[in-house]
Homo-oligomer: A and B are copies of this chain.
Amino acid sequence: MRRTVLPLLAGLAFFAPPFAAGAQETREFPSQHGDVLVETLAAGLEHPWSVEVLPDGGYIVSERAGRLRIIRDGKASAPVAGVPEVAEQGQGGLLDIALAPDFATSRTLYLTLAATGDGGFGTALVRATLAADDKSLTDVKELFRMNRLTRKGQHFGSRIAFAPDGSLFFGIGDRGDRDRAQDLHDHAGAILHINPDGSIPAANPYRGGTEGLPEIWSKGHRNPQGIATDPEDGTLLTVEHGARGGDEINNPQPGHNYGWPVITYGKDYSGAEIGEGTAKDGFDQPLYYWDPSIAPGALAVYRGKMFPEWDGSLLVAALKYQLLARLERDDTGAVIAEERLFDGEFGRIRDVIVAPDGALLMVTDEEDGALLRVSKAPTQ
């Protein structure tokens, strides 16, 4: 059912200049709503973690070891200068990139990364300005750093999503110590919420700092790697990586608790039970879960024009299962079907975003990672 096709201009290739290095083959895949094309925009990226689209149509990609690169015409630039030092420890390193909503004029972007400090490493969120020539970051400022650093290399989170008012949501995992996800005075295992200047939004449930830390929005998250706000109505959605089983999609509400490790649909990797079951008063249920785990790395809500049949679908990039899961939803938001795309074809899919033209962009978290573009195949 899969076939390899040449890029759209293949018929003209004899008369056209050769493709730029890195502009690779395009492959066609069937899907529930028609065939899709997957084009390799760039290869040779080292464990890319995040991609964003620049206003001029270029791409900015993070590599986990601590590099930002600009990709144009299939070519990756030299690393952007001025990226803060990152702790490339376990799952840590340079993580998410989020361009400010006014990036076109302000050139402001936000990064999450594993930072080194007293006692070990922890997730930090940094604001910076990308110079007009794309070659360096300036005005770099750390807006947030989690408390209780540890030498463990697990569960740093962390993606960033903008609320309609421009404030930032991002997630941090339990850092390898489950009980931290239940401690309101610990940033681990939480969804956090801050203003673009690092100050505390009025909507935060513990903004006073007594009952809990002011940046906390919700707790009980094991490793929330994907986060998105629905462009249509601002609904906050997260996807977290479970243990053996128990990946969850949630719609985090302020002050709510999503259960880890008290309730979970997952088990220990040894097969042992975790916590007290799957439901308990005081803990919210997920909107959807996977068992066995697909190992989600990112989440997007599809509201683009290219795939009208996907309107409102949740797109989840999966690492272990090396696929893109599409959860189709009805008008109430309930899941009515799960589609699995590209199963094992491209490696560990770390990020997925919806580009301005409605195509998807994905990066594969491999030593020889790629930037991929998913678009609608032309009707025959």
Stretch at the interface among A195-203, A316-324, A329-337: A329-337
Contact B337 A288 (CB under 8 A): yes
Cβ of A342 under 8 Å from chain B: no
Contact B32 A336 (CB under 8 A): no
Q: A285-B330, A334-B332 are in contact. Are A245 and B278 (CB under 8 A)?
A: no
| A216 vs chain B, min Cβ distance (A) | 25
A33's contact among B278, B285, B288, by CB below 8 Å, is which?
Answer: B278
| Majority DSSP secondary structure for residues of A touching B | loop
| A74 vs chain B, min Cβ distance (A) | 33
Contact B278 A309 (CB under 8 A): yes
**Given the complex, which residues of B lie within 8 Å of A265, measured CB to CB?**
32, 337
Contact A32 B291 (CB under 8 A): yes
CA–CA, A33 and B264, complex, Å: 11
**Given the complex, which residues of B lie within 8 Å of A245, measured CB to CB?**
32
Q: A32-B265, A32-B291 are in contact. Are A285 and B336 (CB under 8 A)?
A: yes
Contact B337 A334 (CB under 8 A): no
Cβ of A289 under 8 Å from chain B: yes
Q: Which of A245, A278, A334, A337 has the most CB of B within 10 A?
A: A337
**Given the complex, which residues of B lie within 8 Å of A335, measured CB to CB?**
288, 334-336
Q: Which residue of B lies closest to A266 (CB)?
A: B32
CA–CA, A219 and B291, complex, Å: 35
Cβ of A290 under 8 Å from chain B: yes
CA–CA, A278 and B31, complex, Å: 14
**Given the complex, which residues of B lie within 8 Å of A288, measured CB to CB?**
335-337
**Given the complex, which residues of B lie within 8 Å of A289, measured CB to CB?**
336-337
**Given the complex, which residues of B lie within 8 Å of A337, measured CB to CB?**
265, 288-291
A336's contact among B286, B332, B339, by CB below 8 Å, is which?
Answer: B286
**Given the complex, which residues of B lie within 8 Å of A336, measured CB to CB?**
285-289, 335
Cβ of A338 under 8 Å from chain B: yes
Kindly supply a per-residue 1/0 record for chain A positions 288-331, scoring 1 wherever the CB is within 8 Å of any chain B CB and 0 otherwise: 11110000000000000000010000000000000000000010
**Given the complex, which residues of B lie within 8 Å of A333, measured CB to CB?**
334
Q: Which residue of B lies closest to A285 (CB)?
A: B330
| A184 vs chain B, min Cβ distance (A) | 26
Contact A339 B291 (CB under 8 A): yes
26 contacts between A and B (CB under 8 A): A32-B245, A32-B265, A32-B291, A33-B278, A265-B337, A278-B309, A285-B330, A285-B336, A287-B334, A287-B336, A288-B335, A288-B336, A288-B337, A289-B336, A289-B337, A290-B337, A291-B337, A291-B339, A332-B332, A332-B334, A333-B334, A334-B334, A334-B335, A335-B335, A335-B336, A338-B338
